[in-house]
A and B are shown apart, each in its own frame.
Chain A
Amino acid sequence: MATGDVKLIGAGASPYVNRVQIALNIKSVNYEFLEEKLGSKSELLLKSNPIHKKIPVLIHDDKPICESLVIVQYIDDVWTSGPSILPSDPYDRAIARFWAAYVDDKWFPLMKELWMAEGEEARAATIEKIVEGLVVLEEAFVKCSKGKAFFGGDSIGFLDIAFGSFLRWLNMTEKMGEMQLLSEAKTPNLVEWAERFCCDDAVKDVLPKTEKLIEIFKIMQARAKAPPSN
């Protein structure tokens, strides 16, 4: 596929954009990355995603696809010669989709809640919920991985991408708050998985460095806005 056929509108710090980048890397797809500047939206973005006006947007042969997990599934459906992102069995696919929805709808909102939390009591309560959520995901990992390296088995799959894209934001939160969320004590498998995920060839050049996210977070805090959401 020529580079000109695939464009990705996004920002390197966005976990939702990272998901798409990882998926494209898994399939060895060449693409043009159109970086959006923080705080402003390009004409192309507004034209390609008029409803949500958000990144990421994949433009393939001039057709826009929006919503990160919709895009990841699209990439899996189109580039079939590369490794599969979703499992082939319908039940396993349902499990992967279920947990990805859990990460997006239940777990990550807790992180945003923590960033906005005021007062020690509120923070502590949210931290407890986040850790509980991670313990649930730890159990999910054990079931899904069946002893293998990733949620997806031997190689990175849909759920690895969905959850792994948040790892540096998790790390940033731990550093800023001087606390541990993902711990050896409560989530040993996830700790090891996180290491493997971040080192994977498809991932290592995609996820932003924690230091960069700390910088961005401080800017956002100063602007009293929550970090970018999908």
Chain B
Amino acid sequence: MADEVKLFGVWASPYSRRVEVALKLKGVKYEFIEEDLSNKSDLLLKYNPVHKKIPVLLHNGKPIVESLVILEYIDETWKGNPILPHDPYQKAVARFWAKFLDEKCFPALRKAFSSKEDEQEKAIEEASELLKILENELNGKKFFGGDKIGLVDIVANFIGFWLGVIQEAKGEELLLTHKKFPILCKWIDEYVNCSVIKENLPCQR
């Protein structure tokens, strides 16, 4: 029986994009259903009654929600091109960094770009410290996952793509400069040029 895979998402959402990258990496065919978050579909509310959020992966009628949970599910279900390392310790390290990105980095980055002027300097400083940690973690590697894209690279898509877009929209390099973060900027270039990611970038507005 052929797999039926659907993804409820939003084209502009990094969380939605993560799942698409993973599915594409694994060569999984899926149907993308664009949700209007201001008018959530009955199906979305049915499949994610607890959080009522995207992304929702529907595999043969069964819903899986929360992007990190979905990524692990995808990795465990479709074995080609693994996203997580095989070694338990390396796996734990990858999970640690994925959590760090979602729980610490992204909130700090969002705050840095949305803070009012008097709070912005402090917010940028806090975000910079976190980016520095990532810079140190990358040191010497092409990707967080090593030679190939892995879970952490996929989860770091907010930095990989959106950060540059936001900075461009604001008209200045507020945070992510080549001078301050040479390794992270190099990673972004590699990331954006990686073919799977390339197909998956929303058009810059």
A-to-B contact residues, CB < 8 Å = 51, 60, 63, 65-67, 70-71, 73-74, 77-78, 90-91, 93-94, 97-98, 101-102, 136
Are A70 and B88 neighbours in the complex by a CB distance under 8 Å? no
Q: How far apart sit A138 and B73, CA to CA, in the bound complex (Å)?
A: 24
A77–B94 Cα gap in the complex (Å)?
Answer: 14
**B62 contacts the other chain (Cβ, under 8 Å)?**
yes
26 contacts between A and B (CB under 8 A): A51-B133, A60-B89, A65-B89, A65-B93, A65-B96, A67-B95, A73-B91, A73-B92, A73-B95, A74-B89, A74-B91, A74-B92, A77-B91, A77-B92, A78-B88, A90-B76, A90-B77, A91-B62, A94-B70, A94-B73, A97-B69, A97-B72, A98-B66, A101-B68, A101-B69, A136-B50
**Which residues of chain A are near B70, meaning CB under 8 Å?**
94
CA distance A193 to B16 in the complex (A): 36
Once the chains bind, are A93 and B100 in contact (CB under 8 Å)?
Answer: no
B197 on the A face (CB < 8 A):
no
Interface of B, helix, strand, loop or mixed by DSSP: helix
User: Counting CB contacts under 8 A, is B99 at the interface?
Assistant: yes
Residues of A within 8 A of B68 (CB): 97, 101
Whether, in the assembled complex, B176 has its beta carbon less than 8 Å from a beta carbon of chain A, the answer is: no
Residue contact B72 to A94, C-beta cutoff 8 Å: yes
Known A-B contacts A65-B89, A74-B89, A98-B65; the reply to A93 vs B96 at CB < 8 A is no
Give the nearest-CB partner of A91 in chain B: B62
Residues on A with beta carbons closer than 8 Å to the beta carbon of B89: 60, 63, 65, 74
State which of B73, B93, B100, B133 has its C-beta within 8 Å of the C-beta of A91.
Answer: B73
Classify chain B: how many residues form its interface, as a range.
Answer: 20 to 34
Q: Is the interface of A mostly helix, strand, loop or mixed?
A: helix
CB of B5 within 8 A of chain A? no
Q: Determine whether B64 belongs to the interface, using a CB cutoff of 8 Å to chain A.
A: yes
A67 close to B99 (CB less than 8 A): yes
B95 to chain A: closest residue by CB: A70
Given contact pairs A90-B76, A93-B76, A102-B50, A67 touches B69 in the complex (Cβ within 8 A): no
Q: Which residue of B lies closest to A101 (CB)?
A: B66
For A93, the chain B residues whose CB sits under 8 A away are 72-73, 76
Residue of A nearest to B103 (CB): A105
Taking CB atoms and an 8 Å cut-off, the chain B residues in 25-74 that contact chain A are 50, 59, 62, 64-66, 68-70, 72-73
In the complex, what's the smallest C-beta–C-beta distance from A127 to chain B, in angstroms?
20
A93 to B64, CA, bound (A): 10
CB distance from B95 to the nearest CB of A (A): 5
Set of chain B residues within 8 Å of A77, measured between Cβ atoms: 88, 91-92
Q: How far is the CB of B105 from chain A (nearest CB, A)?
A: 11
Chain B CB within 10 Å — which of A65, A93, A94, A136 has the most? A94
In the bound complex, how far is the Cα of B72 from the Cα of A93, in angstroms? 9
A98 to B88, CA, bound (A): 21
